[in-house]
Chains A and B, each alone.
Chain A
Amino acid sequence: MGMGKYIAQRLLFTLFVVLGISILIFFITHIVGNPVDIMLPLQATDVEREALTKALGLDKPMMEQLWIFLRDFSRGDFGISWWQNRPCMEVIMDRLPISMWLILLASMISVVCAIPLGILAAYRPGSILDRVVTIFSTAGICFPPFWIGLMLMLIFAVKLGWLPTSGMGTWKHLVLPAVSISFRPMGHLAQIVRFEMIQQLNALYAVTARAKGVTEMTLLFKHALKNIMTASLTMIGNDYCKQLGGLSAAVEVVFGFAGFGHLISETIENMDFPLLQAEVFFVAIIVCLINLLTDILYAAFDPRIRY
Chain B
Amino acid sequence: METTKKPKKTSLLRRFRHNKPALIAGIVLLIIFTMVILAPIFTQYGPAKSDLANRLTAPTMAPGRAVGVTQPHILGTDQLGRDIYTRLLYGGRVSLNVGFTVATIGGIIGVILGMLAGYFGGWTDMIIMRMVDVWASSPTLLIALTFVMILGPGQKNLILALLINSWTLFCRMARSQVLVIRSSAMVESGHAIGASTNRILYKHIMPNIISPMVTTYILELAHFINAEANLSFLGFGVQPPDTSWGLMIGEGRKYLTQAPWIVIFPGLLIATTVLCLNLMGNWIRDEFDPLAVKL
Interface residues, chain A, CB within 8 Å of chain B? 17, 20-21, 24-25, 28-29, 32-33, 125, 138-139, 141-147, 150-151, 153-154, 158, 195, 198-199, 241-242, 245-247, 249-250, 253-254, 264-265, 267-269, 271, 276, 279-280, 283-284, 287-288, 291
Contact = CB atoms under 8 A, between A and B. Distances in A.
Interface of B: 134, 137-143, 145-151, 222, 226, 229-230, 233-236, 246, 249, 253, 256-257, 260, 263-264, 266-267, 270-272, 274-275, 278-279, 293, 295
A154 B191 CA distance: 64
B139 A283 contact: yes
Contact of A144 (B137, B138, B141, B267): B267
13 contacts: A20-B138, A28-B146, A142-B272, A142-B278, A144-B233, A147-B270, A150-B263, A246-B145, A264-B145, A267-B149, A271-B149, A276-B145, A280-B142
A142 B267 CA distance: 10
Contacts of A33: 149-151
Contact of A150 (B222, B236, B249): B249
B134 A138 contact: no
B137 A154 contact: no
Given A17-B134, A242-B141, A32 B274 contact: no
Given A199-B293, A247-B230, A265-B234, A287 B138 contact: yes
Contacts of A279: 142
A24 B267 CA distance: 35
A252 B51 CA distance: 33
Return the 3 tightest CB-CB contacts between A and B, nearest first: A147-B267, A33-B150, A245-B139
A25 B257 contact: no
A241 to B, nearest CB: 8
Given A143-B271, A245-B139, A20 B134 contact: yes
Given A147-B263, A250-B234, A288-B137, 5 more contacts: A17-B138, A24-B143, A158-B257, A264-B145, A276-B146
Contact of A195 (B149, B236, B272, B295): B295
A85 B142 CA distance: 22
Contacts, number: 124
A199 B293 CA distance: 9
Nearest to B134: A17
Residue among A21, A25, A146, A264 with max Cβ neighbours from chain B (10 Å): A146
A100 B4 CA distance: 56
Contacts of A242: 141
Contact of B271 (A144, A271, A280): A144
Q: Is the interface of A mostly helix, strand, loop or mixed?
A: helix
Given A141-B278, A150-B263, A287 B149 contact: no
Contacts of B134: 17, 20
Contacts of A147: 249, 263, 266-267, 270-271
A241 B142 CA distance: 11
Q: Is the interface of B mostly helix, strand, loop or mixed?
A: helix
A276 B150 CA distance: 11
Given A28-B147, A144-B233, A150 B253 contact: yes
Residue among A144, A158, A250, A291 with max Cβ neighbours from chain B (10 Å): A144
Contacts of A276: 142, 145-146, 149
Contacts of B233: 144, 146, 250, 253
Nearest to A286: B139
Contacts of B145: 246, 264, 268, 276
Contacts of B264: 151
A145 to B, nearest CB: 8
A283 B263 contact: no
Contact of A253 (B234, B257, B270, B278): B234
A271 B149 CA distance: 6
A138 B279 CA distance: 9
A142 B134 CA distance: 28
Contacts of A265: 234
Contacts of B137: 17, 287-288, 291
A227 B141 CA distance: 31
A280 B146 contact: yes
B295 A198 contact: yes
Contacts of B267: 143-144, 147, 150-151
A246 B236 contact: no
Contacts of B149: 33, 267-268, 271, 276
A144 B226 contact: yes
A269 B229 CA distance: 18
A142 B271 contact: yes
Contacts of B148: 268
Nearest to B144: A246
Contacts of A158: 256-257
A165 B280 CA distance: 37
B7 to A, nearest CB: 29
A115 B18 CA distance: 31
B295 A139 contact: no
B256 to A, nearest CB: 6
Given A144-B249, A147-B267, A268-B149, A247 B141 contact: yes
Nearest to B267: A147
A152 to B, nearest CB: 11
